[in-house]
Structure 1
Amino acid sequence: MQQRRPSRRSSASTLVPAAECVSLDALADRARALNLLDGKLRHHLPDALARECRLADLRNGRLVFLATSPTWATRLRLHQATLLAEARATCGDAVRLFVVKVAALPPVPPEPARSKPLSATAASHLRSAAKTMSDPELQALYLQLASLASSDSPPEA
């Protein structure tokens, strides 16, 4: 007869109330700090290598990087002394260990698309449309939008 193993379900007593968790502000601050450190450290790497790795974490004296393949991880380890020295200079002497893990890198958010400037002709049409509107709030919105036109737009007729 086979013995039944106890279930590994978490009990209610192991759940932590949301109020006791790290605040979103603290989490965002940590993410910003890691992002800045990542840029600073990868600046010391060759461009090809910098594109294939990212700083994942800095905790308990461990500097953890992610690399996209074992090959890139090996190449990153060749720069271990430089990265540790720069991390120590930035974060203090508590940084002792260098760890590289092979994993897919998180996607980098694209740069926001630059909007095309509003042409003088479009601004003129918006002003003309605003003159025909009876709703003053909507008319103000059209005029505000027309004011975003490039500085070489003709003055209102």
Structure 2
Amino acid sequence: MTGPGSRDDRGSAPQPALNALLAGPAGDPVRRALWLDALDQRLRPCLPSELAAHVRLANVDPDGKLVLLAEAPVWAAKLRLAAAEVLDAARSLGLGATGLVVKTTTNPLIDKPSRVEKTVKPMSTASRDALRAALDSLQDPDSAEPGERS
């Protein structure tokens, strides 16, 4: 007997795209990427403060080596100097970290806010009066139609 709520009906209901992708073996790389991203979000706050904004976890090898990306050679060098601290931080998160591999990239690792901040300045009294006069002239029935010149 098939009816509402039966096994056949539930199997034919549409799934959200991410759930459908993760359901099969094809979702393994996506699950791993999500796990690495979550691990990176937990690891970076444990890193030395000057490194956290310039470093990102890229992978965890089967041997237990952490692969980290640094956005410039100077940050890669500083990361190598802090290797013991980084490995301790990874171990505190439950990883069996045995070593550190540092790679350098030229692309920014983290979206950073624009250096130029847009601020809204209050309108001056003269500007406000000029704007009000311009708006009033548009509403004046005796004035010329917009776009017409007298």
TM-score (norm 2): 0.50
Larger Rg: 2
Task: Give me the TM-score of the superposition, normalised by structure 1.
Answer: 0.48
